[in-house]
Amino acid sequence: MLISIVVPTKNEEKNIGQLLDTLVVQEQPIEIIVVDSASKDATQEIVKNYMKKYPFIKLYIKKGNIGESLNFGIEKAKGEAIAFIGADDRADKEWIKNIRKALQDGHKIIAGKCVMRGKKKFELDRVKLYYKGFDISIPGTNTTYRKEVLEKIGGFDPRFITAEDIDLNLRAVDVGYKIYFEENAIVYRYVRENAIAFLKQAYRNGYGRKQLTLKHGRLWKQYSFKQMFSTHLTFWGLLRLFFGLLGYLTCKITGGGMK
């Protein structure tokens, strides 16, 4: 079974080589599809150097947001299933092996385990969102979909600035698909390196959560408020909630491009 790995990039020269090092050792057959959104740094050159040694790596240049990049990667993918991973993440050496096993067992959507690394003060639990019994807020990185599912539900909605992965999961669950969690399919994720990047991420996350409600209606009853607040009772946690609320309100006022 061929598995396509789609990696969206933009100015990732510091990370893309380290990610590819963890992907080229994965169980074959695979293809690695890098969709670059017109990087201005050395990202494309680094990928091209890897392509000389590994013919299963492919580079496409497609300017656009993350949703557009992911959809383009899906369009180009030849695999029966498509695994998504971020350019600043790292895959465990048996990541694809364990995903493939879950696919062979009949699962159509597989969420792997994300292990956080980096500065502890910026390492906070995500605000979980449940829908029809499934945690649909699992990170888009380390999520694998059979291509037939993506074709049926229409891929990613490019209007989202973030939370496009949650929207995809929600729509899949809504039409009857189940999300299977495979704890042995591990991806290592890295927290933001500084406070500015951390708070920008919080703002964008809040904005994206409001985009979800603008598209799908009220979702507040699907959140665990106990989990939301109990995991944020720190200085950085409260700051994250505050900036997330700013993003949420900004999207509410502007409409978030969802009309």
Residue 77 pLDDT class (50, 70, 90 cuts)? very high
Average pLDDT over residues 22-47: 97
Find out whether 96 and 83 touch, Cβ atoms under 8 Å: yes
Report the CATH number at residue 102. Answer: 3.90.550.10
Evaluate whether residue 222 is within a structural domain: no
Evaluate whether residue 204 is within a structural domain: no
Evaluate whether residue 186 is within a structural domain: yes
User: Rounded to an integer, what distance in angstroms lies between the CA atom of residue 226 and that of residue 188?
Assistant: 27
pLDDT of residue 124: 58
What percentage of the chain carries pLDDT values higher than 70?
A: 89
pLDDT in tens, 80-95: 999 999 999 999 999 9
Residue 139 pLDDT class (50, 70, 90 cuts)? confident
Evaluate whether residue 121 is within a structural domain: yes
Evaluate whether residue 252 is within a structural domain: no
Evaluate whether residue 158 is within a structural domain: yes
pLDDT in tens, 195-233: 787 788 788 888 888 999 899 987 755 555 555 555 556
pLDDT of residue 252: 87
User: Rounded to an integer, what distance in angstroms lies between the CA atom of residue 191 and that of residue 76?
Assistant: 30
Structural domains in the chain (count): 1
pLDDT of residue 181: 97
Evaluate whether residue 208 is within a structural domain: no
Evaluate whether residue 241 is within a structural domain: no
Please give the model's pTM, rounded to 2 decimal places.
0.89
Domain hosting residue 96, numbered range: 3-193
Find out whether 144 and 172 touch, Cβ atoms under 8 Å: no
